[in-house]
Structure formats: C-alpha cells, structure tokens
Chains A and B, each alone.
Chain A
C-alpha cells in the first residue's frame, strides 16, 4: 500500500506519519501532480486498487472503500 498524501505541508505529513507510525511508503502531493494524485480520485480518505499498468480495479471512500479494495485484491490473488 502506498500513501498519497494530500498534505501541502510535508512537515505536517511527517508529523502525522511519526505520530501514528505509518509503515507504508508515502508520496507527497508536491512530488506528483497528475499521474497518481488526481487521476484516480480527488476524495479523502479514499482507497484505490490498481495494477502495474495503472488500470483501476476497485475504489471507494472511507471504510467501505477499504473493504471493496481488499475484497477485490483477495479475489485477484
């Protein structure tokens, strides 16, 4: 899982990551304008499952989105 941070302020993102000990990789909003940050969704919080070709396989907001993505991933694996 990769965290796409909507934070404009990297310090705020870092503070949150440290506070909650977020273990996954992060990509900051300032580092990717289009390819990942806005192509799939503009919602927050939101989960999107993609394959390595970039095809969107499942998506959703909040807890429902998380469930949808994990269900699809289990189905694929």
Chain B
C-alpha cells in the first residue's frame, strides 16, 4: 500500500509539473498579418483598438464588412485613444482608433493617418438650467471657474457644477483647445471616466454643465447653442459650428490587404452617408474645408 500511494503521488506531481510547463510555454500568435496585398484569400483577422468615441462607428462598420467578406474577422475594442496609438505603433493592432493626433513620442513610428469621420461635441446642461445659448467667453468663464452662478449668464440663480472628463481624455483636450483656447479647466470640477457617466451625471445634477460627443446626445439633457449656433450636421459642415474633432484611424505604414479594404469601406460614400450620420458623426466628405 505504501508503494501504491507513492506511485499515485508521483503520478500527480508529474502531471502537475507537465501542466505548469506547458501553460508557461504558450504564446501562439492570435492574429495573422495580411500577406496578400490585393485579394485576401485566406482567413484574416484585423484588430482595431482605441477610442471609445469611435467605437460605435467601427462596430457598425465591422458588422457590415464581415457580412460581405466572410473570410475576414475584425476584433474591435476600446481602451482609449492613447492605447490605440501605442498598440498600432508597436504592431499589436492593425488599426489604432484615436480622437487625437499622433503624440510627439510616436511621431517617428511611421503612423499613417486616415480621417474617417468628424466628431462634433455638444455643450450640455441639466434641464433645470434656463439658458439656451452661451458665447465662447461665457463658456471660458464657466469652465475656468470664474463664473460660478447661472445668474451671471442670464439664467436663474443656481450654482454652476461642472461635470466632465479627466485630464487625459481626448474629448477634454479638444474642448480645451477649441472652446477654452488652451486655458485650464477649474480643478474643482467633478470628473467621470466615460462620456456615458458624464451624461448621467449632468442629467441628474441640477445646475450642471459639461460636454459630450454628439453621438451620445439623448433626451434628458439640454444642448446649448454655441455662440448662438445650435448643433446640427449642416452647421458643422458649413463651418458655422466649430466645436468638433476629426476621428482618426491610424495604421503603421500604408494600409494593405484586409486592413486597407476595411478602411476603404469606412471611407466609402455608402457607409459615410448612412452609418456615419446615423451614429451622430458627420461624414468627412461633406466638410467644406
């Protein structure tokens, strides 16, 4: 019985050791690099990573593209603009979705920019706020913390609460550049880490103000006009509404194979005029400049 027990123990130990050794040596590559430049004949996988603002659009494009190209699989995920840029720069992803342009650190990595959509931003306030339009100077005063009460901008007397994104957010950087002309936001503003949470916060906090992508605009908050111009796709394309940023899809070097086909599909008139507008973006082709 002694030797039987030891045999069982030895067998179990050997199995354990083998399992540990084998799992430690995994590392099969998940994605194939597109090898044929023109027609992708075998199964290809593309990974598109990055901006959560662009995510709904890329998701819609993926579903349509995969319907027509059965041998291509596209994996789409978020992670933020900088994650997208880093991953495409080091080759972990084929496409990096980004709301921001290439950072200085990644300038020499050979990233090629494809502007796929225009993302307008809307300044939103809680429905309790009576103000309909704000000038740029008023917005600067509010967002930098100089104006603290709605009565200072011809609203009813109510404390102004700012709810917006954290300092590393691409959306915040866009608003800071375009609306605030580079000035800093009030540090006592409440920040939430996603546009969805900003929306929920403003919807439920009386007297609050913030900004979201136009794609996230729903009932429950009020969109204020910027310098008297209400947000609409026409206002953006005609140049009257300046609060927008381009959405980029970066590739390392020129896009080839399935990646190129996918980006071409997104840039095609069919997709731009249907899904891009439906998701709350503005087609790049319609921009006047």
Task: Please determine whether chains A and B interact with each other in the same assembly.
Answer: no
- Chain A residues engaging chain B, CB cutoff 8 angstroms: none
Residues of B within 8 A of A (CB): none
